[in-house]
Amino acid sequence: MTNEQLQKLVEDISNALFHLPFQHLATFNKKLRSTGGRYLLLSHNIDINPKYLEELGVDELVGIIKHELCHYHLHLQGKGYNHGDPDFKQLLKRVDAPRYCSVLKSAEQKRKASYHIYECKDCKQIYKRKKRVNTEKFVCGKCRGKLQEVTRK
């Protein structure tokens, strides 16, 4: 899907569900990592993460667009557009938009797979950590022995 096709899709969803025009720019943004999309308050544009379309399909993309359009239309109307605002929650429910987007399969695999494994040289206690540990500074919590990195998974 191109940016032009995305723009047309956003405009169509806005007209069909919100009965209001979308008069700004909707684009794919490959730099988005932890979210499916975002509404930019200053420019009123919408950025969409293309990975959600690739991995989860058009239905997930439409849900993200509906969510971002809720932010967009409420903000332009001067109503509560933040996630916790009652106006936002009501509009989400009315247009059947998700409150949060699904987790990407690639992000889930990456999150599960990346950690460091340390072992105590004395008591052989195993420690799994997401971040690296300074083995010169930290010691085993069980016997105060020296730690060594076994593998990085």
From 4, 11, 68, 136, active-site residue: 68
CA distance 46 to 76: 13
| Contact yes or no for 43/24 (Cβ under 8 A) | yes
Q: Is 108 a catalytic residue?
A: no
Classify burial at 132, counting beta carbons within 10 Å of its beta carbon; exposed 0-12, middle 13-18, buried 19 or more: exposed
CA distance 126 to 147: 9
Residues annotated catalytic, as ranges: 68
